[in-house]
Amino acid sequence: MYAEVIVDISASAVDKIFDYEIGELEISEGYRVLVPFGNFVTEGYVIRIKESTNYDVKKVKKILSVKDDFAVITPEMINLMHNMCALYHLKYIDVLRLFLPSEMRTGKVKSLSRVVLEFVGDKAKIKENLRKNAKNQLNLLEFLQESQKYYKSDLNEKFTPGAVNKFVEDGFLVASAEKIYRSPSFNQVDDSRHKHTDLQERAINSILSANKTHLLFGVTGSGKTEVYMSVIEQIILQGKTAIMLVPEISLTPQVLANFKARFGEQVAILHSGLSVGERFDEWKRIRLGEAKIVVGARSAIFAPLQNLGIIIIDEEHEQSYNSESNPRYFTKDVAEFRKEFNNCPLVLGSATPSLESFNKAERGEYNLIEMPVRVNGKAMPNIEIIDMLGEMRAGNTGVFSRRLLFELENCFKNKKQAMLFINRRGFSSFMRCIECGYVAKCTDCDVSLVYHKNDDKLKCHYCGKRYRALTKCPQCGSEKIRQGAVGTQRIVEELNKYFPDVKVLRMDNDTTQVKNAHQKILTEFAQSAPAVLVGTQMIAKGHDFKDVTVVGIVDADQSLYQTDYKSTERTFELITQMAGRAGRNESEGRVILQTYAPRHYAYKFIANYNYKGFYSKEINLREVAKFPPFTTILRLLFSGDNEELVRQMVKGCHNKIYDLAQKYGDDFVYYDAMKSPVGRIKNKFRYQILIRLKNENSREIIDKIYDVCDDCLNAKVSMFVEINPSSLA
């Protein structure tokens, strides 16, 4: 018998399937094995067992040994690997590595167990044979009860290891091992069950009645989470399992608490905030079938659950579902593959669905389920648009409009809470010399640096490198250095000035580096009033604070002017989500939106909560401009240390794509090779080929493009593929 093995080495040259002889070993598909490879030994994964090999049998080597006592990769995941490799042009091993906790591969984390002792002796008899001065043993004997079990560590502590070990040697205490799992912490809350509204009831039935993709379009506060939980409850009753994805870890404390309260030990949690031990143990509970529901961030889509009965992706429009480093993939694509394999429903939920998803629903590819009203019957909070140019004309050059200051004052006077949203971390965006226009840039990456006030440093947000802050322009020597647009730190400072007695909390990438920091900030905010939470988009989602009456969007335009075709959509999403944080309880909420472009169509639709109106306008623009979902964008990103080599390779690929474009004529809307907008990151030069294809033949053409690029590639340049990338930087 032979095994097809993928070796655990990430290099294009060995991105192949190798045959090995199985011999006497007991191996099935999905096992991790040790194999000889070249002059050394490496780990590998068995993806298929077969009777014969096409290679010279004398040259086929033997598998050395088996690593674990179970298949670490399930048959479904092997199938998924093939699908993902074909779609995104990935290496087998890079995909397999996504499926396993990294701590398993490095072998740095071990399973834990503790020793359980059962007392089996006859108390009276044992006592007769004990020496009268053996105090510890006598006390231990006194304590033990017939056929009771105890943790050895507890007994050791109470009665000394000497006494305990003596009893074990004499056979009065019989040892066995009990597995223990390190489990992530979560907030304890009560399971709040509600009588479902009609809309919720209808949504639940609709999802359970069809194994297809459903788009649950429900306004913020319409009770989507309750729908998810009820659906999962039904699926579990049918003996199946469930995956529930939430976007970022900022959102998880509340959701996790609710899931734990309803489903207890059946829930496993996977997100980047876990310790390595916790992640390893949660993964193992899932793989061994002990956990049936997985709640987690993006990577939880790879949870090795078997008999999957439903997949739910909450806040489906979220960017963070798309992996933006190698291996790049779209979580929704992966979910579609798993849905097909398991023949189960897939639910995409959002108050602001991505245009692509809503378009699919409109065309009947997805089943559209709508929940247009809040469970509490409250209207959505009023959104007021403030023209910041008008403020300037009136002599107010501060970061807060007079209206926002007035509302904040009111809010704090009534001991309520406010949230201020600013889409940028750090103190300000960049440092610029106002004499000559010099902007501080990273030496390794072609991007401007961001000023962080706490440590008075400039930081590169691409590579993390730190620099001294500018006091003097290195170009012209002027000392007139200005900071660009405002960031979270600056807002905090301003608030402290205006409202010295009010608690100000800040949540962004910088304040949430340490474990459980999100949870701490959110809990503190929930327990403080008056208080204000300042943050980046981290605070825009999911949170359900009862006393937030004012939401301020400090600079709404920031996401509007990023130069890609999705900027307007992203602005609509972010602001609508942020507005949804206000007025969730009795007290009415208001939203103050500060902008320099008050007449932009996005704001008109935002202020009226008119998603469908916005959708119609935007989808029209996309159609006219030939952007997704009407076309497919393929971005081939080439990077390497040697700029000349990278350029040559791009040129070679571009020429071959030119030939393809001649052949496929009309199917190519556009293609071009260029330097990437961020031309260098960590000293690697970046070039790209952008291609836009009509949808009809895109799959076929993309496969052809992968083939011609493979012919050009060499080991010194890497190529990454993205389909409909959200950022072209």
Segment contacting Zn ion by CB under 5 A, of 195-203, 221-229, 445-453, 691-699? 445-453
Residue 576 or residue 639: which is nearer to ligand ADP going by CB? 576
Residue 225 or residue 359: which is nearer to ligand ADP going by CB? 225
Distance CA 414, CA 408 (A): 10
> String of b and e for 17-40 (b: at least 16 CB within 10 Å)?
ebbbebeebebebbbbbebebeee
Report how many residues bind ligand ADP under the rule CB under 6 A: 16
Residue 441, class by beta-carbon neighbours within 10 Å (0-12 exposed, 13-18 middle, 19+ buried)?
Answer: middle
Segment contacting ligand ADP by CB under 6 A, of 39-47, 120-128, 221-229, 337-345? 221-229
**Residue with the two structure tokens 């199938």:** 79
Coil, helix or strand for 309?
strand
Segment contacting ligand ADP by CB under 6 A, of 97-105, 196-204, 271-279, 360-368? 196-204
Which of 102, 454, 475, 714 forms a contact with Zn ion (CB under 5 A)? 475
Segment contacting ligand ADP by CB under 6 A, of 215-223, 235-243, 321-329, 673-681? 215-223
Which of 175, 180, 436, 674 forms a contact with Zn ion (CB under 5 A)? 436
Q: What's the min distance (Å) between Cβ of 371 and ligand ADP? A: 7
Binding to Zn ion by CB under 5 A, coded x per residue (else -) over 565-604, reads ----------------------------------------
Give yes or no for residue 548 binding ligand ADP (CB under 6 A): no
Which of 220, 354, 401, 577 forms a contact with ligand ADP (CB under 6 A)? 220
Give yes or no for residue 544 binding ligand ADP (CB under 6 A): yes
In this structure, what are the phi and psi dihedrals at residue 644, rounded to the nearest 5 degrees? -60, -45
Question: Are the CB atoms for 443 and 480 separated by under 8 Å?
Answer: no
Listed residue (481, 534, 475) closest to 503, CA to CA: 534
Distance CA 313, CA 661 (A): 37
Q: What's the min distance (Å) between Cβ of 272 and ligand ADP? A: 22
> What single-letter amino acid sits at 333?
D
Indicate which of Zn ion, ligand ADP, none lies near residue 435 (CB less than 5 to 8 Å, by partner kind).
Zn ion
Q: Where are the beta strands (DSSP E) in 596-642?
A: 631-640
Q: Order of strands across the sheet with 112-119?
A: 149-151, 112-119, 173-180
Site for Zn ion in 641-700 (CB under 5 A): none
Which of 153, 478, 608, 655 forms a contact with Zn ion (CB under 5 A)? 478
Q: What's the min distance (Å) between Cβ of 643 and Zn ion? A: 17
Give yes or no for residue 476 binding Zn ion (CB under 5 A): yes
Segment contacting Zn ion by CB under 5 A, of 180-188, 392-400, 469-477, 484-492? 469-477
Distance CA 544, CA 251 (A): 10
Give yes or no for residue 433 binding Zn ion (CB under 5 A): yes
Distance CA 180, CA 177 (A): 9
Which of 52, 133, 147, 192 forms a contact with ligand ADP (CB under 6 A)? 192
Indicate which of Zn ion, ligand ADP, none lies near residue 1 (CB less than 5 to 8 Å, by partner kind).
none
Segment contacting ligand ADP by CB under 6 A, of 25-33, 159-167, 191-199, 696-704? 191-199
Which of 101, 223, 304, 552 forms a contact with ligand ADP (CB under 6 A)? 223
Q: What's the min distance (Å) between Cβ of 297 and Zn ion? A: 26
Residue 178 or residue 201: which is nearer to ligand ADP going by CB? 201
**Residue with the two structure tokens 């907008």:** 677
Distance CA 444, CA 435 (A): 25
Indicate which of ligand ADP, Zn ion, none lies near residue 222 (CB less than 5 to 8 Å, by partner kind).
ligand ADP
Indicate which of ligand ADP, Zn ion, none lies near residue 519 (CB less than 5 to 8 Å, by partner kind).
none
Distance CA 387, CA 401 (A): 9
Indicate which of ligand ADP, Zn ion, none lies near residue 218 (CB less than 5 to 8 Å, by partner kind).
ligand ADP
Give yes or no for residue 200 binding ligand ADP (CB under 6 A): yes
Distance CA 38, CA 246 (A): 43
Computed on alpha carbons and rounded to an integer, the radius of gyration of the chain in Å comes to 30
Distance CA 528, CA 511 (A): 18
Residue 253 or residue 327: which is nearer to ligand ADP going by CB? 253
Question: Are the CB atoms for 507 and 536 separated by under 8 Å?
Answer: yes
Residue 125 or residue 195: which is nearer to ligand ADP going by CB? 195
Residue 417 or residue 448: which is nearer to Zn ion going by CB? 448
Segment contacting ligand ADP by CB under 6 A, of 77-85, 189-197, 383-391, 699-707? 189-197
Coil, helix or strand for 142?
helix
Q: Order of strands across the sheet with 308-313?
A: 267-270, 293-296, 241-245, 308-313, 346-350, 213-218, 367-371
Segment contacting ligand ADP by CB under 6 A, of 223-231, 245-253, 481-489, 697-705? 223-231
Q: What's the min distance (Å) between Cβ of 296 and ligand ADP? A: 17
Question: Are the CB atoms for 21 and 2 separated by under 8 Å?
Answer: yes
Structure tokens at 541: 């989602």
Q: What's the min distance (Å) between Cβ of 351 and ligand ADP? A: 7
In this structure, what are the phi and psi dihedrals at residue 663, rounded to the nearest 5 degrees? -70, -40
Residue 196 or residue 457: which is nearer to ligand ADP going by CB? 196
In this structure, what are the phi and psi dihedrals at residue 115, rounded to the nearest 5 degrees? -90, 130
Q: What's the min distance (Å) between Cβ of 255 and ligand ADP? A: 9
DSSP 175: E
Give yes or no for residue 442 binding Zn ion (CB under 5 A): yes
Distance CA 97, CA 105 (A): 8
Residue 262 or residue 432: which is nearer to Zn ion going by CB? 432
Distance CA 188, CA 523 (A): 12
Site for ligand ADP in 116-135 (CB under 6 A): none
Which of 30, 101, 184, 218 forms a contact with ligand ADP (CB under 6 A)? 218
Residue 117 or residue 251: which is nearer to ligand ADP going by CB? 251
Segment contacting ligand ADP by CB under 6 A, of 82-90, 98-106, 219-227, 624-632? 219-227
Q: What's the min distance (Å) between Cβ of 437 and Zn ion? A: 7
Segment contacting ligand ADP by CB under 6 A, of 192-200, 569-577, 633-641, 674-682? 192-200
Give yes or no for residue 222 binding ligand ADP (CB under 6 A): yes
Structure tokens at 76: 């479904």
Indicate which of ligand ADP, Zn ion, none lies near residue 196 (CB less than 5 to 8 Å, by partner kind).
ligand ADP
SS (H, E, C) 182-238: CCCCCCCCCCCCCCCCHHHHHHHHHHHCCCCEEEEEECCCCCHHHHHHHHHHHHHHC
Q: Where are the beta strands (DSSP E) in 205-351?
A: 213-218, 241-245, 267-270, 293-296, 308-313, 346-350
Give yes or no for residue 435 binding Zn ion (CB under 5 A): yes
Give yes or no for residue 224 binding ligand ADP (CB under 6 A): yes
Q: What's the min distance (Å) between Cβ of 467 and Zn ion? A: 10
Structure tokens at 223: 């009770």
In this structure, what are the phi and psi dihedrals at residue 267, rounded to the nearest 5 degrees? -95, 130
Distance CA 6, CA 1 (A): 17
Residue 254 or residue 559: which is nearer to ligand ADP going by CB? 254
Cis peptide before 628 (omega within 30 of 0): no
Distance CA 683, CA 641 (A): 7
Residues near ligand ADP (CB under 6 A) are 192, 194-197, 200, 218, 220-226, 375, 544
Binding site for Zn ion (CB under 5 A): 433, 435-436, 438, 442, 444-445, 460, 462-463, 465, 473, 475-476, 478
